[in-house]
Amino acid sequence: MTASSLAQSSIASSEKLIVALDVPDVAQARKMVELLGDSVGFYKIGMELAYGGGLSLVEEFSRAGKQVFVDLKLHDIGATVEKAAAQIARLGARFLTVHAFPQTLAAARRGAEGSGLQVLGVTVMTSYDDADLAAAGYRLHLSELVALRAMQAREAGIAGLILSPEELSATRALVGADMLLVTPGIRPAGAALDDQKRVATPYDALSRGADFIVVGRPILSAAEPRQAALAIQREIAAALAGPNTRPTE
């Protein structure tokens, strides 16, 4: 069994799809969750919804048996990050993102201690490429920066990483089977890329070692969101079934 299959073996295939509730308010979020029904059991609350009152949904969804990923990408002085992580932990979220800087990672881990909250370090945003990093003053190439931050996150003892599909295989080989790899930038075949630069299909992301994939607009903007989610679930199941199982388009 490969490292990626070991990491994925304890996660039910139906849990691997995380739907990003990138909507402006609580009412629209509840409507989408109701529409998707049992096709999805894991939701991401990002900045747009959180700042529109969406943090109240963490407890609500958790009580309803859903899992919740709070995607705030925290980055501040250690004491602030630690206290913020502790607050998110009290709400019952499963995942919380912070930027993968060593002090930030360590602070978030301290804040989550003793709870069910798992901290994920954001390596490099999926909307960035090498030119964007150079413009921001980074001397490392994108793949080098992701590798550095992955190792620092492992040393900090956090649960996992946020990274693009392009870095999945190399990062899995680098960090081993124990860290969770959570991948945004997922676009089913034929879907618009929008503002993403480093993307993959659900099948390819899972095949490269992702434990979870995050999908927003391809589901939220679909004419039939539930059917779009079910199609992605079928693609996930095909990837987990092994090689030569790629679904036909």
Domain layout of the chain by residue ranges: 3-240
pLDDT recorded at residue 249:
52
48 and 24 Cβ atoms separated by less than 8 Å: yes
Coil, helix or strand at residue 79: helix
Residue 1 has pLDDT above 60, yes or no: no
Q: Is 31 a catalytic residue?
A: no
Active-site residue, from 16, 66, 73, 83: 73
Question: Of the candidates 145, 209, 153, 206, which has an alpha carbon nearest to the alpha carbon of residue 177?
Answer: 209
- What tens digit of pLDDT does each residue of 42-54 get? 999 999 999 999 9
- What tens digit of pLDDT does each residue of 132-167 get? 999 999 999 999 999 999 999 999 999 999 999 999
pLDDT recorded at residue 228:
95
pTM of the model: 0.89
- For the chain, first and last CA: distance in Å? 29
33 and 27 Cβ atoms separated by less than 8 Å: no
At which residue do the structure tokens 């060593």 appear? 102
The DSSP string of 102-164 is: HHHHHHHHHHHTTSS-EEEEE-S-TT--HHHHHHTT--S-HHHHHHHHHHHHHHHT-SEEE--
State the average pLDDT over residues 114-132: 93
φ/ψ of residue 12, rounded to 5: -60, 140
Residue 215 has pLDDT above 60, yes or no: yes
Distance CA 121, CA 119 (A): 7
71/127: higher pLDDT: 71
- What tens digit of pLDDT does each residue of 80-92 get? 999 999 999 999 9
State the average pLDDT over residues 178-197: 73
pLDDT recorded at residue 78:
97
22 and 184 Cβ atoms separated by less than 8 Å: no
Q: Confidence class of residue 7 from pLDDT cuts 50, 70 and 90?
A: very low
Assigned architecture for domain 3-240: Alpha-Beta Barrel (3.20)
Determine the Cα angle at 214 with ends 69 and 100, to 5°.
65
